[in-house]
């Protein structure tokens, strides 16, 4: 571990911003703990992956259950085997393709039913792009690493001679109890050490996964295990003779398209050995993570880089080496630019992950927008939440819209803007043929009332209406940027529909029926979701969703709640009114008053004090949240990491700003959680962040200057940040007269 100022000097060569000649290069991958988030509700996985990688070989402790949506829990004591595709931090399980489990001396036979093994916890280790563990009962050490589309396994056995490997093609991480695979076509070539095929499965999504499993030696014996009830894919018991060697290697190439695509993906790494691929993964991670350096104590460094690591595991680029990919309706398309991104948890990630990526990996942004547009070409509307390229119709709103508007606002031009606007309008107005009942199948009700009445559109009506407003505002912004004034005015007016759901008596966003009557009885503390409908909110309550319009119109919400002083008092009540208790299934986790950091609807709320006369309250809250709900331990993420959104909040807040209005291309200043940080930007530019006077006694940023120019906390523009220079925060103690104990309660 590198401590304090030595890490602040890191410079890493990257494609978009190479360091100056002779610059010092240091490795930050050793600061990452991939086990962060694996203990509890973080739902991360510890296995190997590249940034935005297609494959992710990792151990599976179980194949079903909410605790095992990534396949893994840190405290579980048995490993079923090692599958090759995973999603990080999700609340629903999917993937887990092509499970392998090695053993020596286990004497498995066709009558064996349990191939799992206890594992030696002290032997388990992980770093970016690499995972290893010992299975003592199986007399083997398993190592995993990954290229973009090919997973690499290396098994080192206790002795030479004969070994066995289970290849389970029926296995997968399941959302429900139904058998995963519905159909399969599998071929074997024992002499070539190869099994290949295509698996058709139905869980969270209906999809096809093609694969080639290639061992580094022939298969001596291959037997199909007896099919269990519901099995539609084979499970093979493989035997190998290692001779005088103790190592067996396997490569698993994946494709969404076909076996030929998987084989071409395999050919891309034909000349690379396990150690070569591991070194490449290490280098790739070092280059990306090294684009940010911070000056902080070792524990905080580990927490920060673990969060940064998790923030860039997804979206996953699932295009084959030749650019082909199977799109959302099952058709094969050629991805524009050769990249096609999935595991798009957009309801979560539009808030923080995508704005972070525009700073950290701007070379990826155009490809992500083109993916959204390719999805719309096939489906007729932009994606909501995709897995393996297929639409899940999960969550609410139109979260792809602010992602596109963010890219437009920040000046990205690698996609056709008129096509983007047309896709946004169609997504917001056209009937969605084939969408399930809970999705927005048409827009007539919303257009008629300006909101969704709970008696016409039962279930989450307030949350859906407010989130549609975020999308409407995004359309208006892109229409303005492209000179379509009529569309801008139309959607800007639609975006103001949130005012129709504001109840002046309770000062809350409240359910309303088609006659304009408020829902009664009304309890603003009760959270609702599809798990306990009928209810008007999505994994949240009235307190939390009342502040949703700030994601597109913060000043309008401040005015609606009575101006800066009354808005501040409302926020004070929000952060001090006690909740009934935690409920992780209803988004009520990591609580401070009504603030629930464990779920996304609350993530912007602390920063709203920037719109009051007491921004210091935000700074105290950000410090408390960062310390209370994040750490470098396996339980260091409270709440689903949701494909990196929890982690992105921590990264951005550590640097001192957050995108309250993601579509705007602006950030709102908080207070840095470190003394200094550096962002390495394209073209060799650097943004150096300084917290002058930083320390325990100075948690409040009294002023902000960028290159000497004073800034308001709500006006940090992306383009200014990307021009580089010095972003300087003047840190001070909170004035005593401004922070009596009665005001500070619940904040510090």
**Predicted local distance difference test score (pLDDT) of residue 439:** 85
DSSP 425: H
d(CA 20, CA 12): 10
Same domain for 208 and 354? no
Same domain for 253 and 183? yes
Same domain for 363 and 278? no
Does residue 526 form part of some domain?
A: no
- Residue ending a domain, among 417, 442, 467, is 442
DSSP per residue, 432-490: -TT--TTS---SHHHHHHSS--TTTS-SSHHHHHHHHHHHHHHHHHHHHHTT-HHHHHH
DSSP 612: S
Does position 631 have pLDDT exceeding 50, yes or no? yes
d(CA 70, CA 63): 9
Give the residue-averaged pLDDT of 34-63.
98
The set of residues, in sequence order, having a beta carbon less than 8 Å from that of 626 and lying 6+ positions away, is 650, 653, 654, 673
Same domain for 265 and 143? yes
**Predicted local distance difference test score (pLDDT) of residue 16:** 36
Does residue 83 form part of some domain?
A: yes
Give 543-610 as a 3 state SS string.
Answer: HHHHCHHHHCCHHHHHHHCCCHHHHHHHHHHHHHCCCCCCEHHHCECCEECCEECCCHHHCCHHHHHH
Does residue 263 form part of some domain?
A: yes
Write out the H or E segment, with its range, that includes residue 224: strand 221-224
> For position 170, which CATH number holds?
2.70.98.10
> For the chain, what is the domain count?
2
- Residue ending a domain, among 286, 303, 320, is 286
* Cβ proximity of 292 and 301 under 8 Å: no
Same domain for 224 and 81? yes
DSSP 355: H
d(CA 548, CA 552): 8
pTM of the model as a whole: 0.95
Same domain for 346 and 277? no
* Least confident window among 168-172, 269-273, 455-459, 601-605: 455-459
Does position 745 have pLDDT exceeding 50, yes or no? no
Does residue 430 form part of some domain?
A: yes
* Least confident window among 103-107, 166-170, 733-737: 733-737
d(CA 534, CA 463): 13
Using a pLDDT cut of 70, give the percent of the chain over it.
95
Same domain for 209 and 89? yes
Same domain for 133 and 281? yes
Same domain for 144 and 254? yes
Q: Residue 19's pLDDT band (boundaries 50, 70, 90)?
A: very low
Does residue 555 form part of some domain?
A: no
Phi-psi sector, 51: left (phi>0), alpha (psi -120 to 50), beta: beta
Same domain for 231 and 112? yes
**Peptide linkage before 315 cis (omega within 30 of 0):** yes
**Predicted local distance difference test score (pLDDT) of residue 737:** 52
Does residue 153 form part of some domain?
A: yes
Q: Residue 736's pLDDT band (boundaries 50, 70, 90)?
A: low
- Residue ending a domain, among 254, 286, 318, is 286
Q: Residue 735's pLDDT band (boundaries 50, 70, 90)?
A: confident
* Cβ proximity of 492 and 476 under 8 Å: yes
d(CA 52, CA 17): 19
Pairing of strands 206-215, 666-669: unpaired
Same domain for 355 and 235? no
Does residue 603 form part of some domain?
A: no
Same domain for 252 and 179? yes
For residue range 233-282, list pLDDT tens digits in order.
Answer: 999 999 999 999 999 999 999 999 999 999 999 999 999 999 999 999 99
| CA angle centred on 733, ends 729 and 734, rounded to 5° | 105
* Cβ proximity of 217 and 248 under 8 Å: yes
> For position 434, which CATH number holds?
1.20.1050.60
For residue range 275-302, list pLDDT tens digits in order.
Answer: 999 999 999 999 999 999 999 999 999 9
For residue range 675-731, list pLDDT tens digits in order.
Answer: 999 999 999 999 999 999 999 888 999 999 999 999 999 999 999 999 999 999 999
Does residue 321 form part of some domain?
A: no
Give burial (CB, 10 Å; 0-12/13-18/19+) of 697. Answer: exposed
Average pLDDT across the chain, whole number: 94
d(CA 356, CA 644): 10
**Nearest alpha carbon to residue 651 among 209, 372, 318, 310:** 310
For residue range 28-45, list pLDDT tens digits in order.
Answer: 999 999 999 999 999 999
Residue 216, domain extent: 46-286
């Amino acid at each position: 571990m590198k401590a304090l100022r030595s890490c602040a000097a890191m410079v890493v060569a990257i494609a978009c911003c190479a360091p100056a000649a002779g610059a010092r290069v240091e490795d930050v991958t050793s600061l990452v703990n991939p086990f962060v988030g694996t203990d509890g509700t973080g739902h991360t996985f510890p296995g190997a992956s590249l940034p935005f990688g297609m494959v992710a070989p990792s151990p599976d402790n179980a194949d079903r259950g909410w605790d095992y949506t990534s396949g893994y829990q840190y405290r579980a004591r048995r490993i079923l085997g090692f599958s090759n595709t995973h999603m990080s931090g999700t609340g629903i399980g999917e993937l887990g393709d092509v499970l392998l489990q090695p053993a020596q001396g286990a004497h498995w036979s066709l009558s064996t039913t349990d191939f799992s093994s206890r594992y030696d916890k002290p032997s388990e280790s992980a770093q970016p792009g690499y995972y290893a563990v010992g299975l003592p009962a199986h007399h083997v050490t398993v190592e995993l690493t990954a290229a973009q589309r090919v997973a690499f396994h290396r098994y080192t056995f206790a002795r030479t001679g004969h070994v066995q490997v289970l290849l389970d093609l029926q296995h997968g991480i399941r959302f429900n109890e139904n058998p995963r695979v519905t159909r399969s076509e599998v071929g074997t070539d024992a002499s070539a050490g190869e099994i290949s095929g295509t698996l058709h499965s139905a869980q969270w999504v209906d999809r096809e996964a093609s694969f080639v499993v290639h061992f580094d030696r022939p298969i001596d014996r291959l037997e199909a295990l007896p099919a269990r009830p519901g099995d539609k894919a084979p499970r093979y018991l493989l035997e190998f003779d290692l001779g005088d060697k103790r190592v067996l290697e396997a490569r698993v190439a994946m494709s969404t398209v076909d076996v030929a695509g998987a084989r071409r993906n395999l050919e891309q790494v034909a000349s690379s050995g396990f150690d070569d691929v591991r070194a490449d993964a290490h280098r790739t991670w070092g280059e990306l993570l090294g684009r940010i350096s911070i000056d902080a104590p070792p524990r905080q460094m580990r927490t920060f880089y673990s969060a940064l690591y998790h923030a860039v595991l997804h979206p996953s680029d699932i295009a084959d080496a030749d650019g082909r990919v199977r799109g959302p309706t099952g058709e094969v398309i050629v991805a524009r630019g050769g990249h096609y991104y999935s595991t798009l948890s957009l309801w979560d990630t539009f808030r923080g992950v995508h704005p972070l990526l525009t700073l950290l990996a701007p070379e990826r942004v155009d490809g992500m927008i083109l993916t959204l547009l390719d999805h719309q070409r096939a489906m007729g509307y932009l994606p909501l939440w995709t897995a393996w390229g297929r639409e899940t119709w999960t969550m609410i709103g139109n979260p792809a819209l602010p992602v596109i508007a963010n890219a437009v606002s920040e000046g990205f031009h690698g996609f056709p803007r008129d096509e983007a606007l047309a896709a946004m309008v169609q997504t917001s107005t056209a009937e969605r043929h084939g969408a399930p009942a809970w999705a927005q199948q048409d827009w007539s009700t919303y257009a008629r009332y300006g909101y969704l009445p709970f008696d016409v559109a039962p279930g989450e009506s307030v949350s859906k209406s407010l989130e549609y407003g975020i999308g409407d505002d995004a359309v208006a912004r892109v229409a303005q940027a492209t000179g379509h004034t009529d569309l801008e005015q139309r959607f800007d007016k639609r975006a103001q529909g949130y005012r129709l759901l504001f109840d002046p008596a309770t000062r809350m966003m409240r359910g309303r029926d088609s006659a304009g009557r408020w829902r009664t009885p009304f309890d603003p503390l009760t959270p609702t979701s599809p798990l306990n409908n009928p209810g008007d909110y999505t994994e949240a309550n009235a307190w939390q969703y009342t502040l949703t319009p700030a994601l597109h119109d913060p000043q309008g919400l401040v005015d609606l709640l009575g101006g800066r002083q009354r808005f501040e008092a409302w926020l004070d009540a929000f952060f001090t009114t006690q909740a009934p208790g935690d409920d992780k299934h209803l988004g009520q986790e990591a609580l401070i008053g009504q603030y629930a950091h464990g779920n996304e609807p609350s993530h912007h709320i602390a920063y709203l004090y920037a719109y009051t006369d007491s921004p210091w309250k935000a700074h105290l809250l950000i410090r408390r949240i960062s310390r209370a709900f994040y750490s470098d331990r396996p339980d260091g993420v409270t709440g689903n990491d949701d494909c990196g959104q929890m982690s992105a909040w921590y990264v951005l807040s550590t640097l001192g700003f957050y995108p309250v209005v993601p579509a705007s291309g602006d950030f709102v200043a908080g207070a840095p959680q470190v003394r200094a940080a550096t962002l390495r930007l394209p073209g060799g530019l650097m943004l150096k962040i300084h917290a002058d006077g930083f320390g325990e006694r100075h948690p409040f940023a009294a002023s902000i200057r960028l290159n000497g120019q004073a800034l308001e906390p709500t006006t940090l523009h992306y383009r200014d940040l990307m021009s580089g220079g010095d972003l300087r925060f003047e840190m001070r103690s909170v004035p005593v007269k401004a922070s009596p104990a009665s005001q500070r309660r619940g904040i510090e």
